[in-house]
Amino acid sequence: MGHRTRLLAVSCAAALLGAVSVVVGCRLADTDAVTPVPQTLAFLPWLLVPAALAVALTLLARWWSGLIWGVVVLALLAWCVRPYGPGGEPGGPALARLRVLTSNVEFGWATGALIPLIRSAGPDIVFVQECEYTCQARLKREVGGAYPYRRAVEGDTSVGSIILSRFPLTAAAGVPGRMGMPGAVADVDGHAVRLQLAHPKPPLPRQVSLWKEELGRLRAFAARHDDGPLVLAGDFNASQDHAAFRRILDTGLRDAARLSGAGREPSWPSDTAPPFGAQIDHVLVSEEFSASRARFLDPAGTDHRSLLVDLTLHAV
């Protein structure tokens, strides 16, 4: 290899390793930092690709100190992508079973695709984000007979959200946010289950602070909830590689997709998932629940995949 070619390979490897090291360093420091770190953290597992390319370039250029750097970065990445949060199964007997669906219908555009999905999958509780006025009216008209109980925040574009339920619902205070996050208490075969829809603002470059603040409100809600079973579901605009989301899991809530063996399957953007993407749509449950199955579904008209999970409520 000529001197100029070797210098180019070293420069490219250093640039790649430098960029990946910044993101990995923030992940290890448990911080989401500032743009572009939070946006990149969503795709943390995919940083294995540029890191591996950098290692190949160090070998090609015989840059041995760079090779050590690259191997360390790869090892740290592999450690970071492990599943995060509590696992395990509740030990008590089963009290009730329920199927939960969460779906972001992108300004209501995917409402027409969501309705047959609801009818075929038969969820007991449905959390719908970005369900504006016409979306809410259409759901009431076309599936309202099967889901007579509803709690909603009305609004245009991304503000509207709704919880549909086969089980009776009573009102509960939602979590404040720029987009609707309604709450309710469901009577599931005689057992009170707190329901909370999640939809914080996304971490766009000019609203990272707002994104952190709203995820912090969801964490505060989860931390102070000590009154029985809880299902917190929706579009969190965050993955397990975001510190703000991990702090929600640190309250003791568990990710149903992870419990079902699908903890890394991407849910967004739907155009590239599942081969490439991030899992930002979640169903989080308290310790009273086990999860036996999680499926990511693909309704047309939205940039999110829907998540369907089977839950069992246990005595603890």
What's the pLDDT at 42? 97
Type of residue numbered 130: E
Predicted confidence band at 2 (pLDDT cuts at 50, 70, 90)?
confident
Same domain, 113 and 224: yes
230-235 and 183-188 as β-strands: parallel, antiparallel, unpaired? unpaired
pLDDT tens sequence across 139-168: 999 999 999 999 999 999 999 999 999 999
Same domain, 172 and 53: no
Query: Can you tell me the mean pLDDT for 306-311?
Result: 98
Same domain, 106 and 38: no
CB proximity list for 120: less than 8 A, separation 6 or greater: none
Predicted confidence band at 1 (pLDDT cuts at 50, 70, 90)?
low
What's the pLDDT at 227? 86
Residue 98 lies in a domain: yes
Type of residue numbered 190: G
The model carries a pTM of 0.96
Distance CA 55, CA 71 (A): 7
Q: Which residue range is the domain that position 64 belongs to? A: 3-80
Residue 88 lies in a domain: no
191-198 β-sheet, strand order? 169-172, 183-188, 191-198, 230-235, 281-285, 254-255
Distance CA 160, CA 239 (A): 23
Compute the mean pLDDT over every residue in the chain, rounded to the nearest whole number. 96
Same domain, 66 and 119: no
Query: Can you tell me the mean pLDDT for 114-118?
Result: 98
Same domain, 26 and 114: no
Same domain, 46 and 181: no
Burial classification of residue 79, based on how many CB atoms lie within 10 Å of its CB (0-12 exposed, 13-18 middle, 19 or more buried): exposed
Residue 288 lies in a domain: yes
Residue 276 lies in a domain: yes
What percentage of residues in the chain have a pLDDT greater than 90? 94
Distance CA 99, CA 118 (A): 11
Predicted confidence band at 91 (pLDDT cuts at 50, 70, 90)?
confident
Assign residue 290 the CATH number of its domain.
3.60.10.10
The total domain count for the chain is 2
